[in-house]
Each structure stands twice: as structure tokens, then as C-alpha cells.
Structure 1
Amino acid sequence: MRIGELAGATGVGVRLLRYYEEQGLLVPRRTPGGHRVYAGDAPLTVRRIRMLLEAGLPTRVIREVLPCIEGDGMVVHPCVSGQLREQLREMDRRMAEMRASRGSLAAILAAAGD
């Protein structure tokens, strides 16, 4: 399928599909005329990319994890479980930092009478 067809099938814009390609997440083949042609499973790959992005994973991690997803859903091969756990720990750390920053800002505003 061509890029416009993939965009229509997934609801993801052409520019974003090109970005996924630039990031190594989506790999089309090229026609002799240079047009992108995507495999039949490309819509599933795009759905997986979207789900992983929504989970807060950076594209560099998605690039490593994506080949380890099996089936029609999000069954992740055990070889990447550790990497995903590390991402979850990092998110927890950032959330704790944000809570502390929020507390500090709230204290500043309270001291100012707001």
C-alpha cells in the first residue's frame, strides 16, 4: 500500500508516517520511481508505534522494542521486559521530581499570599 493509503487506514498523517520512517520505526520498500510501498502489516505496525508512544516511550526505545512485539496486539517478548521496566522506573523518577517541583512552587505561591 502507498503512504496515502496507510495514512487513511490508520488515521495517522503522511508527515507523521514519514517521521516514523526517519526514526527507523516504519520501513517501506521503494518502487523504481522512488514511491514508498508498505507491507500489508504496516497498519498493525503503526498501531503498535502509536500505543508505545502513548505509553511515553521515546522513539529510540520503540525502535528496539518494536521487533519484539508479537501477535496482533501488544504481546512483548520477554527479551525486552527489562528495558520496559527501566523505562517505567525512569518515568516514576521523573514524576517524583515533578511532584517535588510542584510542592516547591506551591510553597512559593503560598508565601506570596496567592
Structure 2
Amino acid sequence: MPGPSGKPNPSAAPGLRLDKWLWQARFFKSRSLAAEVIEAGAVRVNGTRISRPGRDVSAGDVLTFAQGARIRVVRILALGERRGPAAEAQAMYLDLDPPATPEALE
């Protein structure tokens, strides 16, 4: 991320657009769908509601968002290079959701 002088800041953590990360991690079928959810204010990054799809996220950030009928809570472990297979996408995050109880499945 460039500093005030326009030169890259070497101490800044690398980041990736939130909508792009959600798409690469296979939470949404398209970046535009991810962007719509973000613009609606339905995504939180580290507890703060976000409405800009271009907001940078980095490893260690915790995301909270609705996916269908579920509320997902995930910690970003890695930034992706591409939208790869599901196994590669699952390695990009740690699911912090509590496991479903048998009563909830009925």
C-alpha cells in the first residue's frame, strides 16, 4: 500500500480487496455478488461493519457475514493468488463457527 509520497510502504501488511478474497475463498459465486453483500453492510471485519468492497483485508482479520441462513465467522489465514479448487480455498481461512449440534440439524 503506497504511503503519502506514493512510494510503497515496506512495513505495511500485504492486503487484498475484501470482495476478491470472499470470491477466491469460494464464499460467493461471483465478485459482484460478494460486492453487493458488502455494500449492503452485511459484512464485518474485526467487528466493524464494512460497506466498501475495495477495503483491504489481510491475514489475521476476522470476517463475520451471512451466507444463506448461516452466519459465518472466519479468520483469514492467507491471501489467495487465484480462485482455485475448493481444497485450496479452504486453506485460506479458519472457520470459527461453533460446530452444529444434532438438535440444530433436526
TM-score class, shorter? 0.3 to 0.5
By relative contact order (CA 8 Å, sep 6+), the higher-ranking structure is 2
Structure of greater Rg: 1
Q: Which has the higher helix share?
A: 1
Q: TM-score, normalised by structure 2?
A: 0.34
